[in-house]
Amino acid sequence: MIKRIRQIFQGKPAAREDESSRVRKLLVPHAQATDIRFCEPSDLTSEGRFGEEWLAITDTQVLVFTVDGDSTRFVKRLDREAVLSAETIMLTGRGLLEVQTASGGRTNLVTFTNAKNEQFSRACDILKRPKPGARPGEPDTVEKTPDEKEPRICDVCKELIPEGMDTCPHCSHKGRTLLRIIDFTRPCAGYLLLIFFFMILSTGCGLVTPYLSKLFIDYIFKPDAATGAFPYAAWLAPAIVLLFCAYAAQVFLGGVQERFSGKLGYTTVYDVRKAVYGRLQELSLSYFDKHTTGGLLSRVNQDTSDLQYFIVEFFPTTLESLLLLVGVGIFLCILSWQLTAFILLPVLVTVLFGRRIFNRVGVYFHRYFHRRSRLSDFVNDSLSGIRVIKAFGQEKQEVRKFDARSAAYRDAGIDLVRKWSLYHPLLQFFIMAGGVMVWAVGGELVFLKKMTVGSVVAYSGYLAMFYQPVLTLARMVQMVSNSLSAAERVFAVIDATPDVRDAPDAIAMPHITGDVQFRSVTFGYNKFKPVIKDLDLSIARNEKIGLVGRSGAGKSTIINLICRLYDADSGGIFVDGIDIRKINGADVRRQIGVVLQETFLFNGTIYDNIAYAKPQAERDDVIDAAVAANAHEFIVSKPDGYDTEVGERGVRLSGGEKQRIAIARAILRDPAILILDEALSSVDTQTENKIQEALANLTKNRTTIAIAHRLSTLRTYHRLFVIENGRCVESGTHEELMDKKGAFFDLVKMQERLSQISPAEGKSDEHA
């Protein structure tokens, strides 16, 4: 227990900021506080175990130490002067910060997990910078780049909020979430009132019926002690009518209420889903890098339907249970408070027991569903691969694998039923025992003339009604909590803000001329790993530019930046001399046309896919674009012409056909800046010629930026930039670069060697 408490506290170091400044103070005997440029703990020890080792960089020293209470123990001490260079080395799952020292050796300063990458890349940058001294005594905050994201700390629990999350996962605000859900129901606030109204009516009618049975027994069926006649016999007919009406009203009013809650739930969730999807489309690409498609899919589908279930099912049920609980409780006390005091004990035991077994059995249910979904995943997987299975003759093995999973599913089912068949009767037994107790205690009270027989009958009727809301509520606590979590995840998407946003004073630029400049741009998908480093490029209007380099050099990233799918970390991209961040984002994108290597066609007709670039286009324009893209001929030869369905992701078309549709799409858009990202991917030579012709049509009179793997396709381009490791190392025309015998020359030679190995490749090169 103590161990657990300690772990919980270790997981929540109160106020990390304070910890850092406290450690800084501890260092004072060894360094001046103002000299400390960096002071952060790593999360691994030098032996590779979890633990803390601090790294401090001052103007004169580099210190690695452990902190134990108020004392520090130095592990390593280096003179800052002796550090020649520093490097962070990313290994699998963790990183090292290594320095080269004047004595010639390499020293590993600290090791850390991925969680600390960013901090220690900063330390590495500090170590790499020119030695201080010129500016002593400056506050160390200058070491942080201005746009660096501060780690956010939760206001409530002081714990670090994981990156990519907007709210602290440890301190959820269920109340606030509930209020937001109610806020979404506001357009149907009238329904909320109606639901409440009908629920009270229906519950009230339900409550009347056991009391009527008391009236029957105690008055109508009670013979006069002297005469033996039934003095209240005439009341039988109206009482029967009343009973009938109460039952009918309970059932039918319940139906009406259900109808309204359905309407409320579905309408509300429709609005929520719309908000989520709308926000997803607005968010920048970096959001989709951080969140997996599967996760987002479940946000839109699973979580919103959980929310729907909550509003349509849980919310009314909980409300109804509450009403019943209060109503029945009142009746129980009216009938006999003494009996109620007695009966509380078994009720309490039943409720506690019920809660416990729902938790217990919950695990078995979970396991059961998990095994079932694994089995169905397997069947799905192997049936879609049935051709491969048959071709390799692996039927028997597949059956064996199926059998193993099927057996696991069977065992989970047996386990579940065994537990359920033990707990469920026990629960029933407790409930029955309570009922029996009513007759035992109630009977005594009847003999004592404190209760009538009718009251006891009514009482046991009410008691039966009492258990249901109590057990429901006990279970609902968990279920409502789960639903609210789903709601929170949904709201987290709605609340996310796009990283790439238009500046409030963004300029409208309906006509871009196509002049693009990169001014010392640095950018990385992870800030600690820059892909583009201090890049300067200048592209004039109507110029045809080729970007070449090995894969991973940063060519596609340059294009992502021009399209403003991401914003540069430092430096800026200027279009027509204006910072791209200051231009209306929609204006920029409208004037950029993109043809990608992976052509993505949406499910629809060929016409729809070309017109996607410009939905208001006339049919004539679309046909013109298709002709210019050399696509018209093959489209006409299809039986359905432009109305041909391309299938999901365009599966019914060949690679070359898809490519030409994408080019037609770009031509139709008539962009000022055209981007071709490996537009000539693996298509056969004849098709490639057709596409080349199409591209020649397309690149006339616009700034063109092309990435090409086959370097010979770039011969006609005005200038080529050779990108290496995020920097531009060479530029010039194809011929100039070949004469220079530099990096480009090497690339060309390497490709020639490769094409000798695969003759097909060489052939298509000649045609190009």
Partner 1 sequence: MNMLDASNISIDKPPHGTLSVRINNGQTCQDVAFAQLFPHSDPMRYISIRKKQGADYVEIGIIKDLNALAERSRQLILDDIRRRYFLPLITDINSIRTKSGTDTWVVETDRGTKTFTVRERGENVASTDLGVVMITDTDKCRYKIPDSKTLSVRSQMFLEKVLM
Kindly list the residues in this chain that would bind partner 1 in the complex (CB under 8 A).
3-4, 7-8, 10-11, 44, 48-51, 91-94, 105-106, 113-115, 162-165, 169-170, 172, 292, 294-295, 298, 362-363, 366-367, 370, 373, 401, 404-405, 485-486, 488-489
Residue 23 and residue 300: Cα distance in Å, rounded? 45
List the 719-724 sheet strands across, edge first: 592-595, 673-677, 703-707, 544-548, 719-724, 727-732
Q: What is the DSSP letter of 169?
A: S
To the nearest whole angstrom, how small is the minimum distance from the Cβ of residue 307 to partner 1?
13
**Neighbour count for residue 496 (Cβ, 10 Å):** 19
Q: Kind of pairing, strands 71-79 and 544-548?
A: unpaired
| Cα angle 134-140-145, degrees, rounded to a multiple of 5 | 100
Quick one: 468 or 725, whose CB is closer to partner 1?
Answer: 725
Alpha carbon distances (Å) from 430 to 222, 353, 417, 442, 602: 33, 9, 20, 18, 60
Unique residue bearing structure tokens 């693996």: 682
3-state secondary structure of 197: helix
Toward partner 1, which CB reaches closer, 92 or 227? 92
Nearest alpha carbon to residue 87 among 54, 62, 123: 123
Q: Which is nearer to partner 1, 485 or 697 (CB)?
A: 485
Q: Judged by CB, which is closer to partner 1: 3, or 149?
A: 3
**Would you say 10 or 281 has its CB closer to partner 1?**
10
CB 286 within 8 A of CB 524: no
Closest distance between partner 1 and the C-beta of residue 408, in Å?
8
Which of 367, 589 has the CB closer to partner 1? 367
Instruction: State the Cα–Cα distance between residues 226 and 443, nearest whole angstrom.
Output: 24
The answer to whether 324 touches 203, Cβ cutoff 8 Å, is: yes
CB 612 within 8 A of CB 662: no
To partner 1, the closest distance from the beta carbon of 92 in angstroms equals 5
**Residue with smaller CB distance to partner 1, 35 or 52:** 52
Q: How far is the CB of 20 from partner 1 (least distance, A)?
A: 19
Smallest separation, CB 597 to partner 1 (Å): 24
Q: In this structure, are strands 50-57 and 38-44 parallel, antiparallel, or unpaired?
A: antiparallel
Q: Which two tokens stand for residue 698?
A: 């397309």
Q: Which is nearer to partner 1, 373 or 654 (CB)?
A: 373
**Cβ atoms 218, 453 nearer than 8 A:** yes
Q: Kindly state the smallest distance separating residue 696's Cβ from partner 1, in Å.
A: 38
With respect to partner 1, which residue has the nearer C-beta, 98 or 624?
A: 98
User: CA–CA separation, 274 vs 485, rounded Å?
Assistant: 19
- Pull the structure tokens for residue 671: 């962009």
Q: Which residue has the tokens 């549709």?
A: 661
- CB closer to partner 1, 488 vs 657: 488
SS3 77: strand
314 or 331: CB nearest partner 1:
314
d(CA 555, CA 678): 11
Q: Could you give the angle at the alpha carbon of 646 between the alpha carbons of 643 and 650, nearest 5°?
A: 155
From the CB of 299, what's the least distance to partner 1, in Å?
Answer: 10
Q: Where are the alpha helices (DSSP H) in 496-595?
A: 555-562, 585-590
Rg (C-alpha) for the chain, rounded Å, is 37
